[in-house]
């Protein structure tokens, strides 16, 4: 066998390596991995209950706006994006049944909204079991991203702790130290009263009493009379939706709101409720929100797009659906797959600064921590239009509004 000179052998080896490299480059890239060749998003909301104005059809509109903004042809990685929706009716069994049906039979990849905390807690557990994704935007119980957190669930907009921790210290700083609660007797209301009570005590105040009412309670008169008789400086409402609206309207009829000796503060009240209360009744109330359509130019632009479809400005919950869906699709695009572990991992590395969420970061416990707004309801004279309802008193950074990660009981948090 002839001897090949060393220089020639090196040249041949280099040529071979170059050929292999060129062949590798010529190979088509691995196709994106999209399960079932479609990304399907479910909005499980309240279409018929006390929070239907806060979420409901507006949440479906918000999800569609996010999809349309992400892609004009409604595709991600070349695959179609589909949207489905349903009414949980605020009932755990109905919400859980629909979630299982969506995951098992309709191949839904992600469920969002989940207006009620009892429904959200059930669906996040099912998503964890099925290796699918739940983005909670409507429910607020802090336990969702605390001791009952899940690897396949995130808590996107607000929780009961951030609501209380923004409003309570502001009112106690004004010398309003004695508090009475009117609380909706379900997961959200009880969590809100619990978190607020702890913050009141820590801030130097005291809770003098509490009344519990069933959800969707049209007659709040007995609870209001008891709260008035308590002599508390603050009557705090730990309810939501129509329950909050009815409580404030009936309090106004009793002369307890305007010119009364007690301060009313709904710990969760969205612009749909405030608009329905009327500024004459709601003026001066101090509230916490995670989003307000008139907070800056980007928020206004989104608010106008939403209004063009829904004929109302977006609530905090509806805006959260838009942000969650938009960023979910961005994470799929960035990772090249809708695999839930990959998507969640990507979301945890992203910084969020969209039309809704400002200075946001998704923590290890699944809680979206971002700026919260302390607002005051305008007087009728201050308001220039139907939805011009708030003046922003303070922007509270997320690390000040939300409970610190060091206090989390979430098992996903490494100690």
Model pLDDT for residues 300-357, shown as the tens digit of each residue: 999 999 999 999 999 999 999 999 999 999 999 999 999 999 999 999 999 999 999 9
Q: Which residues pair with 43 in a beta bridge?
A: 85, 112
Model pLDDT, residue 397: 98
Q: Is the pLDDT of residue 158 over 90?
A: yes
User: In percent, how much of the chain has pLDDT > 70?
Assistant: 92
Dihedral (C-alpha) 57, 88, 223, 189: value to the nearest 10 degrees? -100
Model pLDDT, residue 261: 86
The DSSP letter of residue 33 is B
End-to-end CA distance of the chain, in Å?
Answer: 67
Q: What is the largest CA-CA distance in the chain?
A: 110
Dihedral (C-alpha) 229, 247, 318, 275: value to the nearest 10 degrees? -110
The residues near 214 (Cβ < 8 Å, ≥ 6 apart) are: 184, 185
Instruction: State pTM to two decimals.
Output: 0.91
Mean pLDDT across 93-110: 98
As a whole number of angstroms, the distance between CA 160 and CA 22 comes to 58
Q: What is the pLDDT of residues 391-405, one digit of tens each?
A: 999 999 999 999 999
Mean pLDDT across 270-296: 95
Q: Which of 218, 200, 208 is nearest to 50 (CA)?
A: 218
Mean pLDDT across 366-391: 97
Q: Inter-axis angle of helices 117-130 and 92-105, to 10 degrees?
A: 30
* 243 contacts 270 by C-beta, under 8 angstroms: no
More confidently predicted of 271 and 256? 271
Q: Is the pLDDT of residue 19 over 50?
A: no
Q: Inter-axis angle of helices 187-202 and 117-130, to 10 degrees?
A: 110
As a whole number of angstroms, the distance between CA 354 and CA 408 comes to 26
Pairing of β 110-113 and β 39-45: parallel
Q: Is the pLDDT of residue 30 over 70?
A: no
The lowest-confidence range among 20-24, 159-163, 196-200, 396-400 is 20-24
Domains and CATH numbers, the chain: 35-158+295-370 (3.40.50.2300), 161-289+373-400 (3.40.50.2300)
């Amino acid at each position: 066998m002839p001897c090949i000179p060393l220089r020639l052998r090196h040249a041949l080896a280099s040529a071979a390596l170059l050929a292999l490299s060129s062949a590798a480059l010529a190979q088509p890239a691995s196709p994106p991995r999209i399960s079932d060749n479609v990304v399907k998003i479910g909005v499980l909301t309240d279409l018929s209950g006390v929070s239907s104005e806060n979420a409901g059809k507006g949440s479906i509109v918000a999800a569609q706006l996010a999809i349309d903004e992400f892609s004009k042809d409604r595709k991600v990685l070349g695959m179609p994006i589909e949207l489905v929706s349903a009414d949980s009716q605020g009932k755990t069994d109905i919400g859980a049944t629909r979630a299982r049906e969506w995951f098992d039979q309709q191949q839904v990849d992600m469920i969002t909204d989940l207006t009620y905390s009892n429904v959200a807690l059930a669906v996040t557990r099912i998503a964890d079991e099925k290796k699918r994704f739940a983005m909670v935007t409507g429910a607020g119980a802090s336990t969702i991203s605390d001791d009952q957190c899940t690897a396949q669930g995130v808590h996107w907009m607000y929780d009961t702790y951030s609501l209380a921790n923004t409003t309570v210290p502001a009112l106690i700083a004004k010398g309003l130290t004695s508090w009475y609660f009117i609380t909706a007797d379900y997961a959200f209301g009880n969590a809100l009263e619990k978190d607020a009570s702890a913050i009141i005590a820590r801030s130097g105040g005291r809770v003098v009493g509490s009344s519990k009412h069933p959800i969707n309670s049209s007659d709040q008169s007995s609870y209001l009379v008891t709260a008035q008789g308590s002599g508390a400086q603050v009557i705090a409402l730990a309810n939501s939706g129509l329950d909050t609206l009815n409580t404030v309207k009936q309090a106004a009829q009793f002369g307890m709101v305007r010119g009364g000796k007690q301060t009313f503060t709904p710990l969760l009240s969205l612009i749909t409720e405030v608009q329905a209360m009327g500024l004459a009744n709601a003026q001066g109330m101090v509230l916490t929100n995670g989003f307000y359509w008139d907070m800056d130019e980007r928020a206004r632009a989104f608010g106008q797009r939403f209004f063009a479809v829904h004929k109302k400005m977006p609530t905090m919950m509806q805006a959260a659906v838009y942000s969650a869906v938009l960023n979910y699709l961005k994470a799929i695009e960035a990772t090249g797959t809708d695999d839930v572990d990959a998507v969640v991992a990507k979301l945890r590395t992203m910084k969020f600064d969209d039309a809704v969420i400002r200075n946001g970061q998704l923590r290890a416990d699944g809680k979206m921590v971002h700026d919260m707004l302390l607002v005051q309801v305008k007087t009728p004279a201050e308001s220039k239009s139907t939805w011009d309802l708030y003046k922003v008193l303070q922007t509270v950074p997320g690390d000040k509004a939300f409970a610190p990660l060091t206090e989390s009981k979430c098992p996903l948090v490494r100690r």
